[in-house]
Structure 1
Amino acid sequence: MKQKMQQWLVRPQGKLGPLGLVVLLVTASLVTPLSLDMYTPAVPHMTEAFGTTAGTVNLTLVGYFLFFAVGLLVFGPLSDRYGRRPVLLAGVVTYTSASGLCALALDIEMLIAFRVVQALGAGAVSAVAIAVVKDAFKAEKREAILSIVQVMFVVGPVLSPVVGALILQVFDWRMTFCALGAVGVFCCALAVLFEETLPQEERYRGTVLGSIGQLGAVARNKGFSSFLAIVGLYNLPFMAYIAVGSYVYISFFGLSELEYSVFFAVAALLTAAGPFIWLKASRYVSARRFTGILLAAAALSGVAMLLAGELSPVLFCLTFLVFALTEACIRPYSTNILLSQQEGDTGAASSLINFAHTAIGYVGMLLAVLPWSSYVQGIGVLIVASMAFAGIGWIALLKSRIPLAGIKDAAPSGQEAPAVRGGRPGQGSLDASSPAQGSAR
């Protein structure tokens, strides 16, 4: 098995090996959902402990979101210039140190400051992780690896609050950050063994500001930006569910905290099957057709939630589960398609992918707490509206002349499709009518 997996790599990992690299990438992908959601059950306890308001404590979440996004946008492009390993090491050390400091915070101001530092480290780790998948693995194996790695982006936010609640059954809120620090230590140990996957000759050779400016070059790739906007809409209702799910189960349906945890855990475990459903389906259906099927199924799940979601917690969970499964199915191959739009600037592309999902998810969390007649109705409306916009965008993209490698060509799933390369500063950007061009590094 190990020897077979070794053949998947285009950049050998003598110390970690292919399995160790996958474990590193999975752990790195867990950092963000754990950091955002695992400590949320402890928020009331922190309000008491610091003698402050819930609004002030919520700055630890808002600050994390904001600076995590900053970290994504800065460190992904920097990894195109300096390599993946130094950025990954710096990020994971920063994250681990800040997690420990959060556990030792003496007042709420210190906790907010340490959460900001923690977020910057997590941004670096997340930006590099997806880029490494493209660097290190053969194109035909990339979707399988992304299926393993990206399932954590779906399962993590659902399972993290449950883990946080279990910790609080025995310890206080500080132990939550100790647990995050332990995850960071484990990630550190793997990162030390990680060997560089971006050779010197393939790195961006311009200035530091120029490397960050490559975000604009990637964003100007119309196929990349259009497809990212479409699949990113999945995150809006998904994070709305994360934001108000506990209120639905506990306040609306009257379940106990333990029963609520069971529903969340079951949904997380079943959602984990999503990426592997796509791997099976890809043998029989193209990514183009499957995307249309998923968008339709997701929209119908929203309609079903509006009609029956308020009748029982089981029906609410089932209707959301259908939606969550469609997102889990679309994540791996859509990420692979997005990465395939760029021949270079993989770090910048990875940053924009993660940033878009994070930003859209944040909007979903804000919309979730609007004065809906019930949160069940609110989530249902957000699912239907988001998938309607995504479906319209998908049809428009297919009918447009905008190139989309892996969808509008005949490249089979999992194989490298013709890529569009982002322009460098001083060059014209590519549009739908321009031939794919290389650009000097």
Structure 2
Amino acid sequence: MALHSWLTRPQRRLGPLGLIALLVITSLVTPLSLDMYTPAVPHMTEHFDTSEAMVNLTLVGYFLFFAVGLLAFGPASDRYGRKPVLVTGILTYALASALCAVSSSIGMLIAMRVLQALGAGAVSAVSTAVVKDAVVPERREALLSIVQVMFVVGPVLAPVAGALILQVADWRMTFWVLAAIGLGCAALALLFEETLPVGERYEGTVLGSVKQLGVVARNKGFSTFLAIVGSFNLPFMAYIAVGSYVYIAFFGLTELEYSLYFAFAALLTAAGPFVWLVASHFVSARRFTSIVLGVALASGAAMLAVGQAGPTLFCLVFLVFALCEAAIRPYSTNILLSQQEGDTGAASSLINFAHTAIGCLGMLVAVLPWPNYVVGVGVIIAASMAAALAGWVALLRSSIPLVGVKDACAAKNARFGDDGALEGR
């Protein structure tokens, strides 16, 4: 099947490959902005002659206002179209990144990080909505698999890239690199052709478009399934938060060895989305979700049992969980978007906001006073996956509709099945 036939909204200037490149780069914006910068943080307290708490606001402020951007600009794109919000967001991001690089005080850096986060939030919210707008339903999962590999790999590889930059330059270069990425993305965004026709846009006020978030959130199938699949982000971001402490402080590895373990995990985790693409020929999304939740729960138990034995075992056990997280993300996003006929921007905002908020919670829970961080990661995986599995079973047994999983059309097209599990696609 030719790539051009994937698109319901032709991209005469970008073409399908250009659209994929745009979506991949936009998916990298947030993990790079958060994690490529972290290796430089210890140097900045001395540079600005300030406290660690003030420097930490450059991270916390980004995370908070990124979430604000997600909630504000997704609905705005339902009202004004995808392209204006996308172009404005990415240009704001690029400008703010450059201003971060030339910041003369910690206060200015914090303020520019907030502006950078708002731009990134707009970009992230719109890019997910574009997938539903522009791609035929049967090809969305394939495209989401390609794009969302970056969501998984980005947070792991970004600190390594940041550390390499610091080998040849100071922390300011990190932001110049981010500004260059933003400008490259802006060039593609200017070639992007609108995917939401005027006739399909929300016709109310700006405030009314934001209120559509509540309309989407009240969709029980959407909200319940989002809570279940979003649970994967809690242990994943917990690992990102304390991974360096585990490898360096607990297992005694060098910084280079720690980076190699992270890179190894990232490369293998990238295969996760494609596990689903292969499995989808043999099992339904319903059964696959049950299997993945069970395997993820088992990985938490294994972490508690053998995770402290050595860095290799710790890495391999977590890799099992990470593969599950990577495998479930693309098709679950497609299912979530399918719950709404309209309000795609609002739905996209809530999906990304939920992953961000749950990930933030994971980073906070990770640094609780555990016996050690390996135990902490194991408990977080086991507890969150047990809750997600219980929620999944309850959802399947409930009367709550879930399009693409429990709907009558999917049941009609099933070729095989037992205990209500669909085996058709």
- Regarding TM over 0.5, the answer is yes
For the pair 1:26 / 2:58, whether they are aligned, the reply is no
Q: CA offset at residue 410 of structure 1?
A: 5.4
Deviations 1:124-171 (A, max 9, x none): 000000000000000010000000111111111111111111111111
Aligned with 1:309: secondary structure?
helix
Q: Deviations over 1:56-99 (max 9, x none)?
A: 10000110011000000000000000000000000000000000
Aligned ranges for residues 316-335 of structure 1 at < 5 Å?
A: 316-335=314-333
Q: Residue 7 of structure 1: SS of its match in structure 2? A: helix
Aligned amino acid, residue 136 of structure 1: A
DSSP-derived class of the 2:12 partner: coil
Q: Deviations over 1:310-335 (max 9, x none)?
A: 11100000000000000000000000
2:90 counterpart residue number: 92
In 2: Cα distance, 1:204 partner to 1:72 partner: 18
Query: Deviations 1:378-429 (Å, cap 9, x if unpaired)?
Result: 000000000000001000000000000011025569x9xxxxxxxxxxxxxx
- 1:108-119 → structure 2 map (5 Å cutoff): 108-119=106-117
Q: Which residue of 2 aligns with 1:350?
A: 348
- 2: CA distance, partners of 1:312 / 1:46: 33
1:301 aligns with 2:299: yes
Would you say how many aligned residue pairs link Structure 1 and Structure 2? 412
Q: Distance in 2 between matches of 1:409 and 1:322?
A: 31
Choose which of 357, 362, 365 in structure 2 pairs with 1:359: 357
Q: Match for 1:65 among 56, 63, 66?
A: 63
- DSSP-derived class of the 1:405 partner: coil
- What is the letter of the counterpart of residue 5 of structure 2? Q
- Cα distance in 2 for partners of 1:396, 1:320 equals 27
In the TM superposition, what are the counterparts of 1:39-438 in structure 2 within 5 Å? 39-409=37-407, 411=409
Separation (CA, whole Å) in 1 of partners of 2:248 and 2:169: 22
| Alpha-carbon distance in 2 for matches of 1:140, 1:299 | 30
Which amino acid is 1:138 matched to? V
* C-alpha spacing 1:102/1:55, structure 2 compared with 1 (3 Å): same
Deviation at 1:54, TM superposition (A): 1.1
Following superposition, the deviation at residue 182 of structure 1 comes to: 1.1
Identity over aligned residues, as a percent? 74
Q: Distance in 1 between matches of 2:251 and 2:187?
A: 44
Say which SS state the counterpart of residue 34 (structure 2) adopts.
Answer: helix
CA distance in 1: counterparts of 2:155 and 2:351, whole angstroms: 17
**Aligned-partner Cα distance in 2 for 1:322–1:293:** 13
Measure the CA separation in 1 of the matches of 2:249 and 2:40: 18
The Cα offsets for residues 295-322 of structure 1, whole Å up to 9 and x where unpaired, read as: 0100111111111111110000000000
Output the CA distance in 1 between the equivalents of 2:266 and 2:79.
Answer: 37
Aligned counterpart, 1:438: none
Q: d(CA) in 1 for partners of 2:359 and 2:408?
A: 32
CA distance in 2, matches of 1:249, 1:178: 30
The RMSD of aligned alpha carbons is 1.1
1:107 and 1:222 map into 2 onto residues whose CA distance is: 46
Look up the equivalent residue of 2:13 and give its one-letter code.
K
Unaligned runs of 5+ in 1: 416-441
Give, in whole Å, the separation in 2 of the partners of 1:41 and 1:373: 26
Distance 1:268 1:49 in 2: 32
Partner AA of 1:47 in structure 2: T
**Deviation digits for residues 234-255 of structure 1 (CA, Å, limit 9, x no counterpart):** 0000000000000101111111
Q: Distance in 2 between matches of 1:249 and 1:412?
A: 45
Residues 10-55 of structure 1, C-alpha deviations (whole Å, 9 max, x = no match): 0000000000000000000000011111100100011111111111
Residues 25 and 411 of structure 1: CA distance in aligned 2, closer, same or farther (over 3 Å): farther
TM-score by length of 2: 0.96
Residues in 2 aligned to 1:270 and 1:182: alpha-carbon distance in whole angstroms? 28
**CA distance in 2: counterparts of 1:245 and 1:178, whole angstroms:** 27
- The structure carrying a bigger helix percent of its residues is 2
Residues 181-229 of structure 1: CA deviation (Å, up to 9, x unaligned): 1110110110010000000000000000000000000000000000000
Match of 1:420 in 2: none
- The one-letter amino acid of 1:246's match is S
Please name the residue that 2:418 is paired with.
none
Letter in structure 2 aligned against 1:211: S
Unaligned runs of 5+ in 2: 414-425
CA–CA distance in 1 between the matches of 2:256 and 2:115?
Answer: 33
CA distance in structure 1 between the partners assigned to 2:180 and 2:320 by the alignment: 33
